[in-house]
Amino acid sequence: MVDKPAPDASRRSEKSRRAIYDAALALVGEVGYPKTTVEGIAARAGVGKQTIYRWWSSKADVLLEAFLDLGEQAALAAREAGQGAPRTYALPDTGDLAADLKLVLRATVDELLDPRFEAPSRALAAEGVVNEQLGREFVTKLLEPQLQLYVDRLRAAQDAGHVRPGVDPRIALELFVSPLAQRWLQRTAPISHEYTDTLVDYALHGLAPRDA
């Protein structure tokens, strides 16, 4: 047996890696996904094209990793600011489902309104709508892992008797996550903390009267 090589990340210069992520996110936000190239990212990051190809196989790979990193940075910042557990690992579970969901969705609203996040996210989401392969990769690697955190939280709520036993958590989470996503993506209406609080209340307690 030989020693395992060090993981990719550790062989990369942290500074170059960050510069490449920043360049990729800025570029895709400015010119869109189709016009973003590995050459363009390299030029903007001040590295050679081969440096990028040594670590990633395509512009899609660079971007997906840059987004994962952006999410991790946001989670780290939120943790440091004391705004709950990092979103990438588990949702908070204080035993109060409504309060926990409201906290996380408020943080998501803040993230969606953050200009660093907005343009590149829109560019990638738009490409995913028409480019099925990238769309599926984007969902599998970025979106679905985040949605699974809601599944876990809703399962725990089911165990605690706070969600009806027959409810499918993977569908249930869409009642509050998807409205926010659609308002943001399609600009159908403004988003705010008050709005996501309302979504959580409606989803948990239903639109029909209690005696219906």
143-152 long-range contacts, CB within 8 A, separation 24+: 145/88, 146/71, 146/87, 146/88, 147/173, 147/177, 149/87, 149/88, 149/89, 149/90, 149/91, 150/91, 150/101, 150/177, 152/90, 152/91
Look at the block and give the residue holding tokens 């993981």. 7
Letters for 32-51 (x = contact with a second copy by CB under 8 A, - = none) are x-------------------
Closest approach, Cβ 138 to a second copy, in A, equals 8
When binding is defined by CB under 8 A, the residue of 90, 129, 148, 159 that contacts a second copy is 129
Does the protein bind a second copy through residue 197 (CB under 8 A)?
no
Structure-token match 């030989």, residue found = 2
Can you tell me which of 11, 53, 77, 136 binds a second copy, judged by CB under 8 A? Answer: 136
Q: Applying CB under 8 A, which residues contact a second copy? A: 32, 97, 122-123, 125-130, 132, 135-136, 138-139, 143-144, 147, 154, 161-164, 167-168, 170-172, 174-175, 177-179, 181-183, 185-189, 195, 198-199, 202-210, 212
